Amino acid sequence: MLEATLMAGSSAKLRRLGAELRRLREAAERTQSELAEVLGRSHVSIVNWEHGKTRIGKSDLHVLLKELGASDDVREELEKLRLAGRSKGWWSVYKLPDWLRPLVSFESDASQITAFEPILIPGLLQTEDYSRAIHLAGPYTTPREVLEKRLELRKGRQRRLVGEHPLELHVVIAESALRLEVGGPAIMADQLWHLVRLASAPNIRIQVLPYRVGAHPAVCGNFAVLHFSDPKLDPPLGYADDAVGGHVIDDPSEVEVLLNMFADVRALALTEPESVDFIATVMDEYRARKT
């Protein structure tokens, strides 16, 4: 079973800081237990710091780096990382549930996302009307009183797809997501036209997995893998959600499973040009029903 091990406050910057602390400790040939004794902290605290699960305080970082013989330059850089990991992101004003906060945080730091969606259009590619209809259909995960805030949040997340250094996005969407009528034919026609337009962007790749493929390796459900610019310091993370929330997946073996699943469905899916034609065909079917 895929489980989350990262805490709600985790971020790529905290993971990077933890990776550096682990590297320094190993270079100094010190154990986590030894450092825990020096700092008067538990062994679990050291483990959590090195995995970016909890924030390390300024005084603890100072003592730890002194104990490990870190240079002044290294101390300065790691203190910057500590402060960056402590700062609130743009999404903090939205009062996100604990299960959603890590995804938005890591998504903001990611350089690439690969994802498979069997039922819905991926959130980063949704129109506002489609997204609103989805939220209205699922009031148990999105109460009415926070609906507009969630829509604003989604638009904020979508801004990662444009700009000077846009997020690279590669999605495989099952045909069932195109056929599931959300909000009526007019909303679906506009949503699919939105996909056709986005597919022309150099940083966005869209493929469709048609019904005719039948059962496939990712039949179990949706997932995404977030990739970062320096995979040695920031290895890929997985994410999957269900009816009651989402789960960040950081176990390397489980992330590898998701990577393999994506590779399989990508190979089974239509090519990108074929996918655009397929989406346009389904879009025309919805448009014909509008009149």
**pLDDT tens for the chain, residues 1 to 291:** 333 344 444 567 787 788 888 888 988 999 999 999 999 999 999 988 888 778 888 899 999 999 999 888 888 888 887 887 666 677 777 777 777 878 888 888 899 999 999 999 999 999 999 999 998 987 777 788 889 999 999 999 999 999 889 999 999 999 999 999 999 999 999 999 999 999 999 999 999 999 999 999 998 899 999 999 888 778 899 999 877 778 888 889 999 999 999 999 999 999 999 999 999 999 999 999 876
d(CA 238, CA 256): 9
The alpha carbon of 204 is separated from its chain's Cα centroid by a whole number of angstroms, namely 15
> What integer pLDDT is reported at residue 276 of this predicted model?
98
> What integer pLDDT is reported at residue 108 of this predicted model?
85
> What integer pLDDT is reported at residue 7 of this predicted model?
45
Q: Which two tokens stand for residue 45?
A: 């605290």
> What integer pLDDT is reported at residue 291 of this predicted model?
62
> What integer pLDDT is reported at residue 16 of this predicted model?
79
Q: Is 192 exposed, middle or buried (0-12, 13-18, 19+ CB in 10 A)?
A: buried
> What integer pLDDT is reported at residue 6 of this predicted model?
46
> What integer pLDDT is reported at residue 232 of this predicted model?
79
> What integer pLDDT is reported at residue 86 of this predicted model?
63
> What integer pLDDT is reported at residue 85 of this predicted model?
64
> What integer pLDDT is reported at residue 194 of this predicted model?
98
